[in-house]
Every structure is written in C-alpha cells, then in structure tokens.
Amino acid sequence: MKVRPTYRHLNVLILLFAAAILFSAVQSLSAETLKLNLEEAIALGLSNSTAMQSKLIAVDSSRAGVKAAKSGYYPGLSASVSWTHYFAQSKSPTVSFLVGPDTLIAPGAYIFAQDPVTVMFDLTQPIYTFGRIKHGVQLATEGLHLAKMDLSEEERSLIVEIKRAFYGYLLAGEFVSVQEETLTQREDALRVAQERYEAGLVPDFEVLSAESDAENFKPEVISALNQVELALLAVMDLLNITDTEDYEIVLVGELNPVYFQFERQPLVDEAIENNYNLRQYRSSINFAQYQESLKRDEKKPFIGSFANYKLNSTFNTTTGANDYTNWDDILSVGVNVSIPLSALIPYSREYAEQSKASLDLAELRTSLNTIESSIKIGIDGILLKINEEEAKIKSSEKAVELASRLYDSASERFANGLLTRIELKEAEIRLNSARVGYLKSVFNYMNALFDLMDIVGLYEFDVDTRRSS
C-alpha cells in the first residue's frame, strides 16, 4: 500500500534526473537561469548531500567490521624474525677429568652465539568458542543493518525536507501574487478616485486616502518578496548549492492539494515496521541482546589449537663464530583450553557486567510498547489535522469564490459612484484574507502530509491511496 524508502529505489531516478539537470543547466546558464522542478530538486539534493556520502562510508565501514568479526572463524598466522647482538659472549672454562691413569681435558666452549637469528611461525585456530565468535558476528551484522537503516532514513528525511522547503517556496510565490494583486486593486481604486475627483464628483480627500492605502500596502509586497528569497535559500541549503553568482535558480511547480484516502490501521502497521525511531530502538534491543550473550559467553571455556615452527641459527662453539648456513628447527603443536574461573564468582567484573547487560536489555524491552503507543497517538493526531486542513481548504475555496464575486460587484459599484471607498476597501480586504487563508490551509495540509510521512517512515504515498477532490 505504501512506498518503502530505500536508497537503491532512487538510484535510477537520480541518474536520469542528473542527466536532465545537466542538460537543463547548460541551456539555462546561457540565459543565467536554472529552473528545477520538484523531482529534479530531489535528485540534485541526494547527489549533493554530504550527509548521504558520510552514511555510505559508514555502510562500507560496517561491512568491513562484519568481515573482521567473521575472521575469528579462520586460522591466524604470524611470522617473526629476531636478531640479537651480545657484546660479551659467555665461554665455559676448560675442565680436566681424571679417567683412571689418563687425564681428559675438555676445552672451554662458547655457550651462545654472538649474533643469533631466530625465525618463527605461529598458527592458531579456534576449535570451539561457545558462541563468542558467533555473537560477535551478530553484533557486527547488526551494526551493518543499523548503518544501512541510517542511510535509508537520511535519504527519506532529506526527500521530505526538500518537499517541505520546495512547497514553502511555492507558497511564498503564491503569496506574492496575492499581495501584488491586492496592490493592483488599490492602485485601480486610486485611479478611479482620481477620475472621479477630476470629474468633480468627490473631494481630494478620497484621492489622498486611496493613495495612502496603496502606499501603505507596498511594504507588504516587499515583505512577501523577501519571504520568497528566504524560502529559496532554504531550498538551496538542502540542495547544498553554495555558488550561484553566475546563474539564478528558479523552482517550478504548483501549490495544489493532493488528497488521499487513509486508513488508520494500515498506517499504524506501516509505522510499526518502518518508523525510524522504532526501528532504531529495536536495533538497540538487538545490540543489547547480543552484548548480553557475549558477556554470558565469557563464563564459558575457550578451546583452540596452536602450532609453532622455529628456526634458530647455529654457531661454532669453539670460536663463537655465527654460522648462518646451518639451522636448528623446532616444531611444536598443541591444544589450549582456557577456563575463565573468575567469571564464575558473583563479585567478579565479568559477572557484574553480564548482570548489567541483562538489566539493560529488560529495560529496553519494557519501553518498546510505550514508543509504539506514542506513534499510534501521533498518527491519530496527524490524521485529525489532515482532515481539519482539508475541510479548511474546501471552506477557503468557497470563501475565495464568494469574496471574488463580492469584490467584483463592489469594484463596479464604486466605479459608478454607488459605493464608498471604505466599502470597496472592506471587500478588497475580505478577498485578500480569503486568498491568504486558502494558501495557508493548503500549505498546512501539505505539511501534515509530510508529518505523516515522517512518522510512518515514507517519502511519498502510493498513488492508489489518492482520491479526487
């Protein structure tokens, strides 16, 4: 029913739009204007995002972490070479032995070489670790899952934020149009007042008042134009565009409400599965669970095998000279069983850490239901807000229609001298308020949709849920 956010999902979109943006930029730069629609802005924002690049690096790092954890299953091989120099060599004294009538003399000999060299190879292989390696791999795999989840959420949230800012820019543009039209209406009223004054139908007070109304409204137009610039800066910040000296960016789109038919339970189910905070919390539970298992495994034995092969250089015992052409070798193999006895003692560090890990896991599991409940309440509140703003939009549409008809009638009657300027101004203010109210209702409705996307964990809703207005 809903569209799930994944980075791979938008890879094709990004490539297609990147080409379109490049072509558009080449054409636009000659005219010093770069026009972007919403899809192009999203593709550009994703490709320029340094946060996305950082998350991608984190995913690669986590993959390396999984490989490092799995390496515990495989043999470990190390080699070393050592050379030692003795400044003073030890030499045994000459010894005489009396054997019957004969005397045997054992000449003195050097005990060790002056510059011995040792080459050694060590091979280790875990045989059975009672879950240590397995739970370490699970912990690293969960870290990779979390890194991918962070990447997916960064992508999804960036898309939604770009949409918010994009529609904020469109709202500011529409608001400028409303204010400029209101200023035009006041200038038209001034023109009519001048014509009637010149015809001797009204005093100059009417002209001065109409001119004052027009001048007093010009700051409103200036403020509206400034809001457009601020909204554009917000979009450019999200798109990571910093250098715009050679061209101007213009966002192209329409601020039209798109209505959806939502069902509460499917939204709740989707949120329980996709909500980032909830997924992150469940990942924390998995981390705590694997951590507890690792602490528990510390109480168990470790069984491993080892092999060592050593080459030692020899020497002449009579002269003490080193002989690097003849080597002694030693090969040793064995099995090592290590039992952490201290971990079995209740007041040991290992015992305390395992107890803490178990309590942390229990605390996380207890709080899970509270988070799910808050998400459900949040969805209910947003759905109420969506329904409220949708009703306001429909009411505002009718109000704009009535206010427009009222203003057209008032303008015609004012031109014929059947209505005072004050009454025309009231009709104009009523029309302006109705149009501004409509725009705000549309924007609030769109923001409520974006809030729903955030809490459910989506960047757009399936077209099947759309309905006509």
User: Which residues form the domain of 312?
Assistant: 77-128+303-338
Same domain membership, residue 233 and residue 212? yes
Enter the DSSP assignment of 328. E
Identify the pLDDT of residue 4: 46
Identify the pLDDT of residue 465: 66
Q: Is 349 helix (H, G, I), strand (E, B) or coil?
A: helix
Identify the pLDDT of residue 23: 43
Q: Which two tokens stand for residue 185?
A: 């209406």
Q: Which two tokens stand for residue 210?
A: 């109409």
Dihedral class, residue 104 (left if φ above 0, else alpha if ψ from -120 to 50, else beta): beta
Contact 57, 121 (CB under 8 A): no
Q: Compute the distance between CA of residue 382 and CA of residue 247 in angstroms, rounded to an integer.
A: 40
In a domain, 1, yes or no: no
Q: pLDDT, tens digit, for every residue of 20-62? A: 444 454 444 444 778 899 999 999 999 999 999 999 999 999 9
- Count of domains forming the chain: 2
Which of 312, 338, 364 lies at the terminal end of a domain, its last residue? 338
Q: Give me the residue label for tokens 């875990």.
A: 126
Contact 68, 140 (CB under 8 A): yes
Record the pTM: 0.78
Same domain membership, residue 215 and residue 88? no
Enter the DSSP assignment of 101. T
Residues of the chain with pLDDT under 50: 1-10, 12-23, 25-31
List helix spans (H) across 130-239.
132-198, 204-238
Q: pLDDT, tens digit, for every residue of 194-225? A: 988 888 888 888 889 889 999 999 999 999 99
Closest C-alpha to 188, from 166, 165, 211, 171: 211
In a domain, 2, yes or no: no
C-alpha dist (Å) from residue 225 to 42, 175, 249, 256, 279: 24, 9, 15, 21, 42
C-alpha dist (Å) from residue 273 to 70, 72, 282, 448: 29, 33, 10, 21
Same domain membership, residue 308 and residue 297? no
Contact 290, 384 (CB under 8 A): no
Q: Compute the distance between CA of residue 450 and CA of residue 444 in angstroms, rounded to an integer.
A: 10
Same domain membership, residue 28 and residue 137? yes
How much of the chain is in helix, strand and coil states, percent to nearest 5? Answer: 65, 15, 20
Same domain membership, residue 240 and residue 219? yes
Q: Compute the distance between CA of residue 176 and CA of residue 189 in angstroms, rounded to an integer.
A: 20
Q: Compute the distance between CA of residue 246 and CA of residue 258 in angstroms, rounded to an integer.
A: 36
Same domain membership, residue 278 and residue 240? yes
Same domain membership, residue 141 and residue 21? yes
Q: Indicate which CATH number applies to the domain containing 45.
A: 1.20.1600.10
Identify the pLDDT of residue 25: 47
Closest C-alpha to 88, from 322, 320, 327, 316: 320
Q: Compute the distance between CA of residue 146 and CA of residue 138 in angstroms, rounded to an integer.
A: 12
In a domain, 256, yes or no: yes
Same domain membership, residue 155 and residue 16? yes
